[in-house]
């Protein structure tokens, strides 16, 4: 029986202040779809998973929450995840301005 996607993790976008989020800030609204792209060659974290809004990198899944995502992507299961903007608060510290939810999709349909 097919079920709607379930929440896998909810977290802030790490590094938002250091990437190009400001260029797409006007597009970041609750529900906006984001893309997750593993970066296994990242020199700082082999489990790095970048977060994109369209073609613009806006940050990363935080290191404390990226290991399972990176491992599943490595073995070809990265497509089971869907990320969406959960909330935006421009009054917060830049590292806390954008929160996302990563869902795991039901592949049984």
For residue 62, the tally of other CB atoms under 10 A from its CB is 15
**Position 100 in a domain:** yes
Domain count along the chain: 1
| Residue 7's pLDDT band (cuts 50, 70, 90) | confident
The whole model's pTM is what?
A: 0.90
**Position 63 in a domain:** yes
DSSP states of 16-48: GGGTTHHHHGGG--TT-EEEEEE-TT-SS-TT-
pLDDT of 2: 52
Digit-coded pLDDT (tens) for 51-62: 999 999 999 999
Could you list the residue range(s) of the whole structural domain that residue 81 is in?
6-104
Digit-coded pLDDT (tens) for 12-50: 999 998 888 888 888 999 999 999 999 999 999 999 999
Assess whether pLDDT exceeds 70 at residue 68. Answer: yes
Altogether, the residues listed in the chain come to a count of 109
User: Using CA atoms in the order 35, 61, 7, 79, what is the torsion angle rounded to 10 degrees?
Assistant: 40
**Position 1 in a domain:** no
Closest C-alpha to 54, from 11, 90, 87, 83: 83
Domain with residue 27: its CATH number is 3.30.70.2330
């Amino acid at each position: 029986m097919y079920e709607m996607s379930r929440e896998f993790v909810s977290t802030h976008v790490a590094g938002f202040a250091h990437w190009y989020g400001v260029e797409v800030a006007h597009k970041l609204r609750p529900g906006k779809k984001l893309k997750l792209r593993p970066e296994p060659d990242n020199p700082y974290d082999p489990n790095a998973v970048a977060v994109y809004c369209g073609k613009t990198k806006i940050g990363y899944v935080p290191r404390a929450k990226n290991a399972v995502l990176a491992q599943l992507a490595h073995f070809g299961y990265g497509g089971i995840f869907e990320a969406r903007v959960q909330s935006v608060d421009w009054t917060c510290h830049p590292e806390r301005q954008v929160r996302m939810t990563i869902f795991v999709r039901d592949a049984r349909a």
